[in-house]
Amino acid sequence: MTHYKLALLGFGNVGRALAQLLMRKRTELKERYGITYSVTGIATGRHGYAINPSGIDLDGALDLFRTGRTLDLLSKVKVSNSLDFIRQCGADVLFENSPVNYETGQPAIDHVRTALELGMHVATANKGTVVHAYHELKALASQKGRKFFFESTVMDGAPIFSLFRGALPGAQLKAFRAILNSTTNLILTRMENGDTFDGAVKYAQEIGIAETDPSGDIDGWDAAIKVAALATVLMDIPLKPQDIDRTGIREVTPAMIAAAKAEGKRYKLICTAEKDGTSVRGKVAPELVPLTSPFASVEGTTSIIEFQTDVLGNLTLIENDPGPHTTAYGLLADFINAVT
């Protein structure tokens, strides 16, 4: 039996889902993997910091959060900021779930770097760390004999990175094709059913899928950062979101969608990457997909990715109904894989 001290940096939807999943899986972790754990630190964005070397009561922390009180009430230690939190939390594993910064990857990169330097394993759902610092952080982790894992950065908790790390040894990824952004997928579906572009955007905002400024989704930036992350890790060629040939869905008109529907086709925002020697061509653009393709069956927040390798026929993964709980599972899987 091995005991691990865990710290949660970020206690939003994903962080709280992770706390619940950890509680639900406590017995299974013990029986299947010989793992026991205590959570010695929780850092929130606006509800303070808690550090307790003897372990924080997760139900108590969730309750404080729910009732709008500060987690400082649970802390044995005074914490001044997130880096101070990492230095004082005394954890073996840091779950890094601060908000994504698409342009610089900060402050998440500093969080990961600090934790690795202190000898912690790190699991993160933050794409910024992968597209802006993958090679540096991977090298640092390796030098420290620790793991830097990030399964939840693309397609939530669906096993993408771990698939190539373990289940597909000796396979070379040559290309992939995917639908990775749910907001645009939802907007295009609404437009097929007669809604206008603006109406569909408004609907996506109302149900909480699209941001107040929806341009990150609509102009393809979210899809581009995911293509960059996948290419950087799985094809081992660093790629930035700006390197992606990117077209959003603003130019797709209701008339184009109706014409496509009449020929039995659907518009989807398709992500592709193709490796060519030592370079990768990445692209995000609306494409017509025939109804006979599994890509046409992808609705709402569901994601799909088709991998082309040198050893198998095309291999496709579809993840249905992702959410904070599936992102949380990806983080738990990273933890288990890091320590077993």
DSSP per residue, 111-159: HHHHHHHTT-EEEE--HHHHHHHHHHHHHHHHHHT--EE-GGGSSTTS-
If binding is defined by CB under 8 A, does position 336 make contact with a copy of itself?
yes
CA distances from 82 to 51, 77, 90, 150, 167 (A): 12, 13, 13, 20, 35
If binding is defined by CB under 8 A, does position 297 make contact with a copy of itself?
yes
Stretch of 22-30, 79-87, 124-132, 227-235 lying at the interface with a copy of itself (CB under 8 A)? 22-30
Among 118, 163, 237, 288, binds a copy of itself (CB under 8 A): 163
| Minimum CB–partner distance for residue 322 and a copy of itself (Å) | 6
Let me know: does 134 contact 228? Beta carbons within 8 Å: no
If binding is defined by CB under 8 A, does position 293 make contact with a copy of itself?
yes
Dihedral (CA of 218, 223, 225, 227) sign: negative
If binding is defined by CB under 8 A, does position 13 make contact with a copy of itself?
no
The closest of 138, 164, 181 to 285, measured between CA atoms, is 181
If binding is defined by CB under 8 A, does position 242 make contact with a copy of itself?
no
Residue in the structure block whose two tokens are 């993840």:
319
If binding is defined by CB under 8 A, does position 138 make contact with a copy of itself?
no
Distance (Å, whole) CA 242 – CA 253? 25
Among 101, 106, 162, 247, binds a copy of itself (CB under 8 A): 162
Closer CB to a copy of itself, 132 or 190, in the complex = 190
Closer CB to a copy of itself, 79 or 179, in the complex = 179
Cis before residue 322, ω within 30 degrees of 0? Answer: no
| Amino acid at site 228 | A
If binding is defined by CB under 8 A, does position 288 make contact with a copy of itself?
no
If binding is defined by CB under 8 A, does position 20 make contact with a copy of itself?
no
| Minimum CB–partner distance for residue 296 and a copy of itself (Å) | 8
| Minimum CB–partner distance for residue 331 and a copy of itself (Å) | 11
Distance (Å, whole) CA 4 – CA 212? 39
Stretch of 38-46, 71-79, 121-129, 164-172 lying at the interface with a copy of itself (CB under 8 A)? 164-172
Closer CB to a copy of itself, 73 or 139, in the complex = 139
If binding is defined by CB under 8 A, does position 29 make contact with a copy of itself?
yes
Interface mask (CB under 8 A) for a copy of itself, residues 304-333, using x and -? --x----xxxxxxxxxxxxx-xx--x--xx
C-beta pairs of 289-297 under 8 Å, 24+ apart in sequence: 289/265, 290/264, 290/265, 291/264, 291/265, 291/266, 294/318, 295/177, 295/179, 295/268, 295/270, 296/265, 296/266, 296/268
Q: Cα angle at 146 between 141 and 148, to 5 degrees?
A: 60
Among 10, 41, 107, 157, binds a copy of itself (CB under 8 A): 157
Q: Would you give the distance in Å from CA 128 to the centre of its chain? A: 10
If binding is defined by CB under 8 A, does position 159 make contact with a copy of itself?
yes
| Minimum CB–partner distance for residue 56 and a copy of itself (Å) | 21
If binding is defined by CB under 8 A, does position 174 make contact with a copy of itself?
no
What residues act catalytically?
226
Dihedral (CA of 22, 23, 24, 25) sign: positive
Binding site for a copy of itself (CB under 8 A): 21, 25, 28-29, 32-33, 156-159, 162-163, 165-172, 291-294, 296-297, 302, 306, 311-323, 325-326, 329, 332-333, 336-337, 340
